[in-house]
Amino acid sequence: MSLEWMAWTPVTAGFFIGLGLVLTGMTIWEVVAPNVERRGLLPITTSRGDRLFIGILGSGYIFIAWTGLTDWKMWFVLPVCLVFILLSMRYA
């Protein structure tokens, strides 16, 4: 089956492979050490998956703000997003 219609690029393929690996890692983590919901800085109880979701969604908004409001190089947004996801996983 040809995937030409999906118009893949190495960058987007890398993005989705990364996302897939994160989800696989989270599944394995859940099996090995089942999640316990807790309350962090946000006024809601969050599970591990919730915190990852908050991190990824927040990263999307950081990307939008970076692109729409600044002329800074796009590569710098990647570590900022990674740090945001890690902070979300730890404190959200």
Partner 1 sequence: MEKWENNKAWFLVSPVIVIVAFSAILPLMTVVNYSVQDIFGPGNRVFVGTEWFKEILTSPRLHSALWRQFIFSGLVLLIEIPLGVLIALMMPKKGWGVSASLVMLALPLLIPWNVIGTIWVIFTRPDIGLLGATVNGLGIAFDHTASPTDAWITIVLMEVWHWTPLVALLAYAGLRAIPEAYYQAAKIDGASAWSTFRYIQLPKMRGVLTIAVLLRFMDSFMIYAEPFVLTGGGPGDSTTFLSIYLVKVALGQFDLGPAAAFSLVYFLIVLLFCWLFYQALQNVGRGEKT
Binding status of residue 47 toward partner 1 by CB under 8 A? no
- Are 9 and 16 in contact by the 8 Å Cβ rule? The answer is no
Using alpha carbons only, how large is the chain's radius of gyration in Å? 16
Cross-strand partners of 45:
39
Binding status of residue 21 toward partner 1 by CB under 8 A? no
The residue count for binding partner 1 (CB under 8 A) is: 20
| DSSP structural state of residue 41 | S
Binding status of residue 64 toward partner 1 by CB under 8 A? yes
Binding status of residue 8 toward partner 1 by CB under 8 A? yes
Distance CA 44, CA 54 (A): 12
* Least distance (Å) between residue 31 CB and partner 1: 12
Side chain identity, residue 81:
C
Binding status of residue 44 toward partner 1 by CB under 8 A? yes
Out of 21, 23, 41, 74, name the contact with partner 1 by CB under 8 A: 74
Out of 29, 60, 76, 82, name the contact with partner 1 by CB under 8 A: 60
How crowded is residue 19: how many other Cβ atoms within 10 Å of its Cβ?
Answer: 11
